[in-house]
Amino acid sequence: MSTPRRSRAHAKKTTNGAHATGSGGSVIVTGICGRLGKQLCRVLHRSRHVIGVDRRPFPDKPKDVEHQQVDLRRKKLKDVFRAGDVEAVVHLGIMHDPRASAAEHHSWNVAGFAKLLEYAAQFRVRKIVVLSSANVYGPQPGNPQFLSEDTPLLGGVRFHEIRDLIEVDMLAQSFFWKHPETETVILRPVHILGTVRNAPSNFLRLPTVPTLMGYDPMVQVIHEADVVAAIERALTPGKRGIYNVAGPEPLPLSHVLRILGRPNIPVPYTVGKMLVKRMWSLRLTSFPAPELDHIRYVCMVDDRRARHELGFSPKRSIEDTVRSVDEARW
């Protein structure tokens, strides 16, 4: 993706510090140094003042973006809220590293997010957008073909690592009810594909893609740029609630691989599970064995609410979306 720096002249004038550009106050984006965060930043900073909060450095950040290298759990986060007239918070800073220790993972995701919510309430932030995931529903053999937003979040039944994300989603839901003065939006996108380095994109980047023999579930995928667009829609004043976000029409996993033109090896489930478990313990793979359920059972969402209420519809075709995993990685 090329990113024109339109506001270069304008950016030169700005210094690090609290000031408002465009409409109203600033937008805090947590996890801005992730690939999705960077893309959101590049779109958002054209119209709004963006404050990035991430403990990682942000070397190639646009000049008019303020970056605070802060751990969400630290008191310093409060200073970010105190200093700037914060109008909205976009929470992307969810750690999903199955290799990280469970304690660190949990504390980062849950304690960090709880702090963020606390300050958002204290400083009367008008909008919070949380990027959850359709994975919170979990792939199950008895899933309806399209899960609505009211479906119980059972993703943790077989895949424990997702429980943090479910808790984050739940925290956001309770915040939604407790603080009606804040517009809370929870987005649950399906598998995000693109230059991002998440499990589905990494899976499709394998030179030979293993599949499970006799299983070919229907899948939904969405282009990262469409997710950014959905976040932008969610930032519009007046929008609140939980929204499933899906990309183009669903298709079988085998068709995804056909679009990519990748060879695949079908492996019987029991063999595959054993192999992945062994490889996982030898650190040869980044996929934990329970994630195999995603290429075994359906976990698709009904995105009618996002289409009607949020006014979101994906722009990328299925071919573009799938092929985006091979695009040059910047």
Residue 207 found at the interface with another protein (CB under 8 A): yes
Q: What is the Cα 244 distance to its own chain's centre?
A: 12
**Which span sits near another protein by CB under 8 A: 65-73, 196-204, 223-231, 235-243?**
196-204
Residue 93 found at the interface with another protein (CB under 8 A): no
Residue 305 found at the interface with another protein (CB under 8 A): no
- Which secondary-structure segment (H or E) carries 13? helix 8-13
| DSSP string for 200-248 | HHHHHHSSSEEEETT---EE-EEEHHHHHHHHHHHTSTT--EEEEE--S
Residue 143 found at the interface with another protein (CB under 8 A): yes
Nearer to another protein, 14 or 140 (CB): 140
Residue 47 found at the interface with another protein (CB under 8 A): no
3-state secondary structure of 302: coil
**Which span sits near another protein by CB under 8 A: 41-49, 60-68, 197-205, 223-231?**
197-205
CB of 34 to another protein, least distance (A): 7
Q: Taking the CA atoms of the chain, what radius of gyration do you get in angstroms?
A: 20
Nearer to another protein, 10 or 329 (CB): 329
What letter does residue 293 receive in the DSSP assignment? G
Residue 135 found at the interface with another protein (CB under 8 A): no
**Which span sits near another protein by CB under 8 A: 105-113, 118-126, 137-145, 165-173?**
137-145
Binding mask 106-125 for another protein (x = CB under 8 A): --------------------
CB of 84 to another protein, least distance (A): 28
Paired tokens of 310:
């949020």
Residue from 7, 126, 146, 260 touching another protein (CB under 8 A): that is 146
Q: Enumerate residues 256-295 that contact another protein by CB under 8 A.
A: 262-265, 268-269, 279, 284-287
- Residue (of 168, 57, 153) closest to 108 by Cα position: 168
Residue from 4, 180, 214, 238 touching another protein (CB under 8 A): that is 214
Amino acid making up residue 62: P
- Please report, for residues 55, 89, 281, the alpha-carbon distance to residue 188 in angstroms, rounded to integers and kept in the order given: 24, 17, 30
Residue from 62, 217, 290, 314 touching another protein (CB under 8 A): that is 217
- Judge whether 32 and 54 are in contact, CB under 8 Å: yes
**Which span sits near another protein by CB under 8 A: 79-87, 122-130, 173-181, 200-208?**
200-208
Residue 138 found at the interface with another protein (CB under 8 A): no
CA atoms within 13 A on the CB side of 123: 24
Q: What is the Cα 27 distance to its own chain's centre?
A: 17
- Residue (of 119, 145, 151) closest to 132 by Cα position: 151
CA-CA distance, 81 to 88, in Å (whole number)?
10
Residue from 57, 152, 237, 252 touching another protein (CB under 8 A): that is 252
Beta bridge partners of 301: 147
Paired tokens of 49:
């003042």
Interface residues with another protein (CB under 8 A) are 34, 96-99, 141-146, 148, 197-199, 202, 205-208, 212-218, 248-252, 255, 262-265, 268-269, 279, 284-287, 297, 317-318
